[in-house]
Amino acid sequence: MDGFAVKAEGLEKRYGEKRALDGFDLMVREGTVHGLLGPNGAGKTTAVRILSTLVKLDGGHAVVAGHDVGRRPREVRARIGLTGQYAAVDEVLTGRQNLEMFGRLFHLGGRRAKSRAVELLEQFDLTDAADKGADGYSGGMRRRLDLAASMILAPAVLFLDEPTTGLDPRSRGEVWESVRALVAGGTTVLLTTQYLEEADKLASRITVIDQGRAIADDTPDGLKDLIGGDRVEVVLAERADIARAVRVVSRVSNGEPEADEAELRVHAPVTDRVAALTEVARTLQDEGVQVEDIGLRRPSLDDVFLRLTGHRAEKTDTTSEGGAPGSPEQKKEEVAV
């Protein structure tokens, strides 16, 4: 695999007249978190379903954990884990019982299933709650239990499809720590998410997908550099001063300044960040322009997303990709696999 845990070339998937994937390429290095970002309906979930053998591809080629997805799906399944958008734990059972049940479903045998449950409860910091009903778990605890269940067989590759959807910031942070621990242990993670901060903090590399194709692939910092690196940003007190601020900022910028009249904000990319900020601050003061805030900032992944796709990222994923979970097309497809 040349150091790649996932290698996909030219993936195609159609649902009727809709192309969910249209020549999608992806390379994921072993032992890393690789983020997959895109607008609703861009093809993220479809790609994960194909790579995890839940859905058959219509064209292209994919290898996961050293095995061809189309020709050797059983071998792929034996080496992967999958956590979807919603926790799959049984709320009637305790955390320990859930993990033992999953262990038996994976044919570990009673004794091994129990010992593996103990190992995972400790690994995911759930030992104190092991014998409590899962219905009493917090959102973060349920998500960690779900992650633990997906790790029963210690998979080489773990697919996380929007794993923190609906969680509060504290619970999200708990899941992030669990993911980092998995990667430190050698697991490769492919993460789809609508939370750009999540991708920024976890992923060492990110692929942006839109209309079924990869439109960018780089490190988080590399993606941010695509839209100009450091920027000087000025927030004004008066709308009438926007034109003057644009003129001042343009003197030090290496690109065209942008003005947001609704937020009274002017910003532009710069090369010599400190000198540019000093010059803008001094000139605005000399010209009597009232400023509410001024500073330097790096572009965010949200800025990258906006530039590449034409709009900002949605916070939830509620639209389908032609064959959404529960749709007739998707049910038919999953039965056929």
Instruction: Examine the pLDDT at 327 and tell me if it is beyond 70.
Output: no
Q: How many whole angstroms separate alpha carbon 23 and alpha carbon 214?
A: 8
* Average pLDDT over every residue of 306-311: 76
Give pLDDT, residue 87.
Answer: 66
Pull the structure tokens for residue 60.
Answer: 């292209």
Domains in the chain and their CATH numbers?
4-224+311-331 (3.40.50.300), 230-297 (3.30.70.100)
Are 26 and 6 in contact by the 8 Å Cβ rule? The answer is yes
Are 159 and 80 in contact by the 8 Å Cβ rule? The answer is yes
- Given pLDDT bands bounded at 50, 70 and 90, which one contains residue 332? very low
Instruction: Examine the pLDDT at 334 and tell me if it is beyond 50.
Output: no
Q: How many whole angstroms separate alpha carbon 73 and alpha carbon 67?
A: 8
First to last CA, the chain: 25
Q: How many whole angstroms separate alpha carbon 295 and alpha carbon 278?
A: 10
Q: How many whole angstroms separate alpha carbon 249 and alpha carbon 308?
A: 24
Are 245 and 225 in contact by the 8 Å Cβ rule? The answer is no
Give pLDDT, residue 29.
Answer: 97
**What share of the chain has pLDDT > 70, as a percent?**
91
Of 98 and 162, the structure prediction assigns the larger pLDDT to 98
Give pLDDT, residue 336.
Answer: 37
What value does the mean pLDDT of the chain take? 87
Least confident of 21-30, 135-144, 184-193, 206-215: 135-144
Instruction: Examine the pLDDT at 329 and tell me if it is beyond 70.
Output: no
How far apart, in Å, are the Cα atoms of 70 and each of 60, 159, 162? Answer: 10, 17, 24
Are 149 and 99 in contact by the 8 Å Cβ rule? The answer is yes
